[in-house]
A = this chain, B = another copy of it.
Amino acid sequence: MEYAFSHMVNSVHARDVMLLMKQSSGKNMISFAGGMPNNELFPVKEIDEIYFSLPDNLKKLCFQYGPTSGYPPLVSSLEKYLSQKGLPLQENKVLITTGSLQAISIITQEFVNKGDVILTENPCFVGALTVFETYGAKILGIPMDEQGIRIPALKEMISSLGQKPKFLYLTPNYHNPAGLIYSPERKKALLETLAGTGIILLEDDAYNDLYFEEAEKHLTLPMKAMEAKGVEIVYTGSFSKILGPGFRLGYMLCSPEIFDKAETIKQALDACTSNFNQILANEFMVRGKLAPYLTFLRKEYAERKTLLLTCLKKYMPDGVRWNEPKGGFYVWLTLPEKLLSVDVFKESVKRGVVFVTGRTFDPAGKKDNCLRLAFSNVPKDEIESGVQILAEAISTVMEFQNYTSV
């Protein structure tokens, strides 16, 4: 439980969740909460093999300081990997970061002063919201539909503001928490909307590799790879979803000008990212272990997703809706009218099931008619009973709602 919630423990949005968590401590809970891989899915065997066969000189280097910008062989490996995604490596530079959250933190420190505006999706990844809040930004969320952030709402927001937003933060591929992928048309329209505005696009692509169908891989094309004119794009990625969050490895790809300042900020944050973790991750890539591991992961996540959707269909009361994710970790569940996810949570946690409430992901901390189910971290044999319990909790809140509204 401790680990399942660690990445959102300090979020101001998650405080209510934490209070409720305390009530459930000690119980054997079924968790749809943690937005991370299940412990059973990590490539332990592969990393063992790498560690056992690491040449002595490389092992010694694991213990040493490295360059602030990153372990050079890993930078090269990433350049190759990102090129294959169509990303423009020639005009941009890679900075290795201590998790991709550090990349978001660095860019925020580079561009945002207290009171500056940052635009985000609503709902939005809570980790990014925590960063933006910590640096005193005014965060304005733009609603989404099933294709991504709503362009008219974005345009209206930009034109209504008295100040230019510093950046727009987006997760176009397999969004956390909304579970959707932006349509190619929406990505294109977004780039056109941003062109010439001077608003930087901060593109978080942590779930890029986690499509379920090979035939849909092309839909994961990053916006930074779409040859946009007149838009500055900072692209971030992570090893947390394709190796393990415990390595704390992420990266950003950005223009040399943004890179220079970012490297100086990183120098003042932690001097450099762990050589130990970078060397293991690089060997994971250069020894060809990433591709087969991704194939395994996609199959595992797709199975969990299918199981979850089947159970939702079987057990959820009328009026509950959800998306069908094409990749990533999440199903975003919309509750029947007037129901709040925080009320569902209170009922659900009593019965032994946890998830993350909708308002956690609202920059304003209010909108609460949805909830996030992460299928990445739940054992397959717990999915059915977990959904059954959640359905009961929702029904109970619905009945209470109907009773009190009579």
Contacts and interface: CB of A to CB of B under 8 A. Distances in A.
Grouping DSSP codes into helix (H, G, I), strand (E, B) and loop, the A interface class, with mixed when no group exceeds half, is helix
Interface residues of A, number: 64
Given A101-B271, A268-B130, A269-B105, A245 B64 contact: yes
A3 B67 contact: yes
A99 interface: yes
Interface stretch (A37-45, A146-154, A170-178, A220-228): A37-45
Interface in A243-267: 243-248, 263-265, 267
A272 B7 contact: yes
A127 interface: yes
A309 interface: no
Contacts of A286: none
Interface string A43-63: 110011001100011011111
A39 B60 contact: yes
Nearest to A45: B59
Contacts of A130: 267-268
Given A60-B42, A65-B7, A277-B274, A135 B268 contact: yes
Contact of A44 (B56, B102, B269): B56
A134 interface: yes
A230 to B, nearest CB: 30
26 contacts: A2-B67, A3-B64, A3-B65, A3-B66, A3-B67, A6-B66, A6-B271, A10-B68, A36-B64, A37-B63, A39-B63, A40-B60, A44-B56, A44-B59, A44-B60, A61-B246, A65-B245, A99-B271, A101-B268, A101-B270, A102-B269, A105-B270, A130-B268, A134-B267, A246-B274, A248-B271
